C-alpha cells in the first residue's frame, strides 16, 4: 500500500504504475526498478516502521488486529508515507525518479 502511494506520487513511479514505462520488456531495467523499490523499503519504510514498533506506546503492537482494521492500517501507511516524504525534502532519501535517472545516465 505504501509503495503504491509512493509510486503514484513519483513521475517515473507513476509511469511504471500506469504501464507507460514498459520496464518489463528489458530485464536490466526491471532488475534496476526492483532494486530501487527494495532500497526504498529497506532504507526508509522498514526503518520508520521499526521505530514505530519500538515506541513505548506500541509495545503491545497487535499486527493481526491492525491488518483487519483498514482505518488504522491506512493511518499507519500515511504516517510512513509522510516520513518518507520528509526524508525526500531533507535529502535523506532519493526518489524513484532520481534513482532511475541516475541509472539511465550510466
SS3 (DSSP) at 92: coil
- Compute mean pLDDT per 10 residues along the chain, 106 residues long, and list them: 92 92 91 96 93 72 79 90 96 96 93
Q: What is the pTM for the complete model shown?
A: 0.86
- What is the longest distance spanned by two Cα atoms in the chain? 47
pLDDT one-digit tens code per residue, 28-45: 999 999 999 999 999 999
Quick one: three-class SS letters along 42-72? Answer: HHHHHHHHHHHHHCHHHCCCCHHHHHHCHHH
Residue 38 pLDDT: 97
Residue 60 pLDDT: 72
Torsion of CA 34, 100, 3, 57, to 10 degrees: 100
Cell 506506546 identifies what position?
Answer: 57
Amino acid at each position: 500500500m505504501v509503495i503504491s502511494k509512493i509510486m503514484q506520487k513519483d513521475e517515473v513511479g507513476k509511469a511504471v504504475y500506469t504501464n507507460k514505462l514498459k520496464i518489463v520488456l528489458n530485464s536490466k531495467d526491471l532488475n534496476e526498478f526492483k532494486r530501487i523499490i527494495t532500497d526504498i523499503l529497506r532504507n526508509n519504510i522498514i526503518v520508520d516502521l521499526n521505530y514505530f514498533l519500538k515506541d513505548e506506546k506500541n509495545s503491545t503492537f497487535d499486527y493481526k488486529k491492525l491488518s483487519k482494521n483498514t482505518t488504522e492500517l491506512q493511518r499507519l501507511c500515511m504516517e510512513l508515507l509522510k516520513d518518507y516524504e520528509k526524508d525526500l525534502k531533507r535529502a535523506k532519501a532519493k526518489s524513484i525518479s532520481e534513482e532511475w535517472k541516475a541509472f539511465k545516465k550510466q
